[in-house]
Homo-oligomer: A and B are copies of this chain.
Amino acid sequence: MDYYSKQISKLIEELSRLPGIGAKSAQRLAFHILNMPPEQVDELAGALTDARHNIKYCQECFTLTDTDICPICKNKARDHKTIMVVETPRDLTAYEKTGKYEGVYHVLHGAISPMLGIGPNEIRLKELMSRLTKEDIEEVIIATNSSLEGETTAMYISKLIKPTGIKVSRIASGVPVGGDLEYIDEVTLLRALEGRTEL
């Protein structure tokens, strides 16, 4: 890329390392950035470094946060006796966006995957179990993904928790709302059938 001057090349190269940003998008973004007011670029750059350098795991739920305890765990208005177990902070966000879940979370940072060599010790499972003994928990809702790994993890966790007497539940799997049966895969259709509820 000797047709760009050094700093522009460098910028394009750095941008194109981000996920979902190919060579063309990186170039488009770079020229957009070069036309942005300098203060706005500084803000963006500052946001990047500030967030990255100050990020840590919430000491309770292990989501990513820049405080010792995340805003959700800190919130006294939430139901601290119900823990929803998710694989990633993004899954947590997905449920938060519904605005209807009142409990707290536990972020595993992954799922058990024999294929990828990820065992129960590679995810934040010990931390979950320790919360269950220390805190007064009534229910654990397992909201790992509906994938092979997610299901394996859900089964593993439920077996681990059952002996403690704490209620364990799993989010429902089935046809998405608005989903057209015609276009839904067979596994999902069977899941929806198995999980049917009486009306």
B64/A34 in contact, CB under 8 A = yes
Contacts A28-B19, A89-B31 given: A10-B71 contact, CB under 8 Å?
no
Contacts of A14 in B (CB 8 A): 43-44, 47-48
Contacts A32-B18, A42-B49 given: A72-B11 contact, CB under 8 Å?
no
Contacts A8-B65, A19-B29, A55-B34 given: A2-B71 contact, CB under 8 Å?
yes
A45 at the interface (CB under 8 A from B): yes
B5/A67 in contact, CB under 8 A = yes
Contact with B along A64-91 (1 / 0, CB 8 A): 1111001110000000000000001110
Contacts A52-B38, A64-B34, A65-B8 given: A3-B90 contact, CB under 8 Å?
no
Task: Summarize A's interface: helix, strand, loop or mixed.
Answer: helix
A177 at the interface (CB under 8 A from B): no
Determine how many copies of this chain the complex contains: 2
Query: How far does the alpha carbon of A25 sit from the alpha carbon of B67 in the complex, in Å?
Result: 24
Min C-beta distance of A84 to chain B, whole Å: 12
Contacts of A65 in B (CB 8 A): 4-5, 8
A90/B27 in contact, CB under 8 A = yes
User: Which residues of A, 1-25, contact B by the 8 Å Cβ criterion?
Assistant: 2-8, 10-11, 13-15, 17-20, 25
A-to-B contact residues, CB < 8 Å: 2-8, 10-11, 13-15, 17-20, 25, 27-34, 36, 38, 40-55, 64-67, 70-72, 88-90, 92-93, 96
The 3 closest A-B pairs by CB, nearest first: A45-B45, A3-B96, A41-B52
